[in-house]
Copies of this chain bind each other. A is one copy, B any other.
Amino acid sequence: MLKIGIMGSTGYAGEELIRILLRHPEVKISVLSAKIERPQNIQGLFPWLSGRLDLPCEDLSPEKIEKNCDLVFLALPHKVSMEVAPIFLEANKKVIDLSADYRLRDPAVYEKSYNTKHKTSKYIKEAVYGLPEVYREKIKKARLIANPGCYPTGIILGCLPPLEKGLLESFIICDSKSGVSGAGRCPAPGLMLGELENSFKAYKVNVHQHASEIEQELNNFSKSPVNLVFVPHLVPMKRGILSTIYLRTKSKVSTEEALEIYRKFYKRESFIRILNKDILPDTKFVAHTNYCDIGIRAFPDIKILIVITAIDNLMKGASGQAVQNMNIMCGFEETLGLL
């Protein structure tokens, strides 16, 4: 049994990791840490765990955690992960970092996106961007996984097939909508139920920090630089991200042709579902699952391809994908604990 540590156990991603790992036959959660004032049994923090997991949770140093686990998930805020990840790596532990700290290849881009200097940039080089559909082979050999952001996951998976084939014009417009859990569990006025009645809004219009991550990955696959426009919105529900992606194609492409391209690209993937023409993605179809559903509508007359992707932001957009990465790194079946 692989021994697992979780730093940041009390956030949404941490809680979801616990939920998934409890059903995973090859691992055992051995140590839980979180920034809490006094040690507490995890059942006191998450009463739904009563009778299912009996483990203390406390504010532990990375050194203490490291001794009790083979692999650690860092479900920490940006800027905190980069301070602790190296400690685990140097102790020869596998690290899956759910923050943004090792996602961007270029420290200067990181600094611009997150307003802070990267303190352990020498580790960026060995970090692997944990999108299995793209980097599976590298993930197998990785020690440090930079688990993708929630918005980037759904958007990159939605754009790659036609982009990689060189079918697209440079402008890519992504209109994304996320449930509130994407903003984390930390109390904030705008996330209270009383403030969200009949409330739907855009935020960080084309200035969201995930844009650079999306651009980096799309440009990896595109001959000419991509022009990304990215507008995220907040939906008054707990989980799910739906991204409506507006692509212009260089030549006329029909829905059937587009579907064929996507099906081929993802034909060996367990967690990508290309939906038939008679149905459209809905975040509820992927809620609590690790699937990314993709729906496609082409309008060849105006050379427009509309791609809609849906994920559960806490699963394929965070903890589910993290476990998928763990499975790949550790030689487990990729879907273990995730179906």
Please report A residues at the B interface, Cβ cutoff 8 Å. 12, 44, 47-48, 50-52, 173, 175, 177, 179-181, 185, 187-189, 191-203, 205-206, 227, 229, 231, 233, 235-240, 242, 244, 246, 270, 273, 275, 278-289, 291, 293, 295, 297, 299, 302, 304, 306, 308, 310, 339
Per CB-CB distance, the 6 closest pairs between chain A and chain B, nearest first, are: A187-B187, A201-B282, A199-B284, A175-B175, A193-B193, A198-B287
Evaluate contact between A237 and B197: CB separation under 8 angstroms: yes
Say whether A229 contacts B302, CB under 8 Å.
yes
Assess whether A246 is in contact with B244, with CB atoms less than 8 Å apart. no
- Within 8 Å by CB of A199, from B237, B288, B308, lies B237
B229 with A304: CB separation less than 8 A: yes
CB distance from A62 to the nearest CB of B (A): 26
Kindly provide the distance from the CB of A200 to the nearest chain B CB, expressed in whole angstroms.
5
Separation of A175 and B289 alpha carbons in the complex (Å)? 26
Roughly how many angstroms separate A284 CA and B200 CA in the complex, as a whole number?
7
- Asked if A283 meets B198 with Cβ closer than 8 Å, knowing A180-B193, A229-B246, A273-B50, the reply is yes
Contacts A48-B286, A175-B246 known; list 20 others, CB within 8 Å. Answer: A47-B279, A47-B285, A50-B275, A177-B233, A180-B194, A185-B195, A187-B187, A191-B192, A191-B193, A193-B236, A197-B197, A198-B287, A199-B240, A201-B283, A202-B242, A203-B280, A205-B297, A206-B306, A227-B302, A233-B242
Task: Known A187-B188, A280-B202, A280-B205; judge A285-B48 contact (CB<8 A).
Answer: yes
Q: A244 with B238: in contact, given A52-B339, A187-B187, A285-B47 (CB under 8 Å)?
A: no
Q: How far is the CA of A47 from the CA of B200 in the complex (A)?
A: 14
Give the residues in chain B near A229, CB-CB below 8 Å: 246, 299, 302, 304, 306
Q: In the complex, what distance in Å separates the CA atom of A131 from the CA atom of B87?
A: 52
Closest B residue to A284 by CB, please name it. Answer: B199
In the complex, the answer to whether A189 meets B189 with C-beta atoms within 8 Å is no
A189 to B278, CA, bound (A): 17
Q: Of the candidates B231, B237, B299, B308, which one forms a contact with A236 in the assembled complex, judged by CB atoms under 8 Å apart?
A: B237
B-chain residues with CB within 8 Å of residue A339 when the two chains form the complex: 52
Residues of chain B with a CB closer than 8 A to A187's CB: 187-189, 191-192
Chain B neighbourhood of A280, CB < 8 A: 201-203, 205
How many angstroms between the C-alpha atoms of A187 and B185 in the bound complex? 11
Q: Are A197 and B306 in contact (CB under 8 A)?
A: no
Chain B hits for A270, CB < 8 A: 51
The answer on a CB contact under 8 Å between B199 and A282 is: yes
| Chain B positions within 8 Å of A48 at CB level | 284-287, 289
CB distance from A180 to the nearest CB of B (A): 5
A219 CB, min distance to chain B CBs, angstroms: 15
* A304 contacts across to B, CB distance below 8 A: 206, 229
CA distance A15 to B206 in the complex (A): 32
Residues of chain B within 8 A (CB-CB) of A193 are: 180, 191-193, 196, 236-238
Contacts of A44 in B (CB 8 A): 278-279
